[in-house]
Amino acid sequence: MSMRIHLSRPDVGQQEIDAVTAVLRSPNLALGPALSEFENALAAYVGRRRAVAVNSGTSGLFLSLLALGVGPGDEVVTTPFTFIASATSIMMTGATPVFVDIDPVSLNIDPKRIAPALSERTKAILPVEVFGNPAGFDEIAELAERHAVPIVEDCCEALGSALHGRKAGTFGTLSVFGFYPNKQITTGEGGMILTDDDALAELCVSLRNQGRGPAAADPPARELGVVVAPLAPQSRGPHDLSRTPKPDGWNTSLPPGPSRRISPRTSPVCSKWPRAPAAA
Ligand SMILES: Cc1ncc(COP(=O)(O)O)c(C=O)c1O
């Protein structure tokens, strides 16, 4: 008798179906209370102050880099052995990924090779817990602190992992989980940014929703809005910039207006605009 063992398979039961159905029956299909509940639960589980849900891990990495002010001319040190989004999220900001070789045992970026790769243009280090393994992340966190470089932790594959009692998702200035169906938990599509920095969290909240302020009635900031908010249940629609990178002349022919998409390449000022402007 042969038995097929899946590399990964979502475990969707009646409880999950009921939870999704309850949201579908509610008036809040986007950014509703179920989402806040999920954000609070994940922040508490991992042990971070703030959690900001987005529509994919890729979006989470992209917004984290934007929130740190990463843009054209900057460098971000990362690993070449990962899912492609770790590098493309850097490229989507206009910055350059600087690849550092991996440790042959852990398969993660080799902490000892990071320091020589840092330059005056380095704006962040983006290490990845490959296959969920946080090996070396204590060394990376120590090194980043010594060099005063923020970490964007790509822990998309690592929910529930820990190193010497420290959970994955706590090593980054911003840390990003992904909820694609091959992950430990799934929302179909989805991602979550975790941080202890309230200002960075608020900036991510704003950036995920057209550059709006925290109140639902706040107006979009026309130049800065990036729609990467998850729906409930999450879906990946045509609004998902992270999946359709067109770095050169991204919708630049569109007239200005609330639905205008921005190109990070032509609008490197995102991080300097932490709030949507007050309504006139
Ligand atoms: C290491 C890593 N980074 C980033 C991503 C991107 O996540 P998503 O597919 O949700 O955009 C994934 C997952 O697919 C991943 O495994």
Instruction: Kindly report, residue by residue over 196-212, the tens digit of the pLDDT.
Output: 999 999 999 999 998 88
Task: Kindly report the average pLDDT of the chain as a whole number.
Answer: 84
**How far is the centre of ligand 1, averaged over its atoms, from the C-alpha of 176 (Å)?**
9
Segment 100-120 shows an average pLDDT of: 98
In terms of pTM, does the model score above 0.75? yes
The neighbour count for residue 136, using CB atoms within 10 Å, is 23
**How far is the centre of ligand 1, averaged over its atoms, from the C-alpha of 84 (Å)?**
8
Please tell me if the CB atom of residue 218 comes closer than 6 angstroms to any atom of ligand 1: no
Whole-number percent of the chain with pLDDT over 70 = 78
From the candidates 112, 123, 183, 272, which is the catalytic residue?
183
Please say if the pLDDT value at position 252 is more than 90: no
| Residue 260 confidence class, pLDDT cut points 50, 70, 90 | very low
pLDDT score recorded for residue 66: 97
CATH 3.40.640.10 is held by the domain 27-272:
yes
The neighbour count for residue 82, using CB atoms within 10 Å, is 22
Give the lowest-confidence range in 109-113, 188-192, 222-226. Answer: 222-226
Please tell me if the CB atom of residue 83 comes closer than 6 angstroms to any atom of ligand 1: yes
Residue 178's SS3 state is strand
**How far is the centre of ligand 1, averaged over its atoms, from the C-alpha of 189 (Å)?**
10
Atom index in ligand 1 nearest the CA of residue 59 equals 11
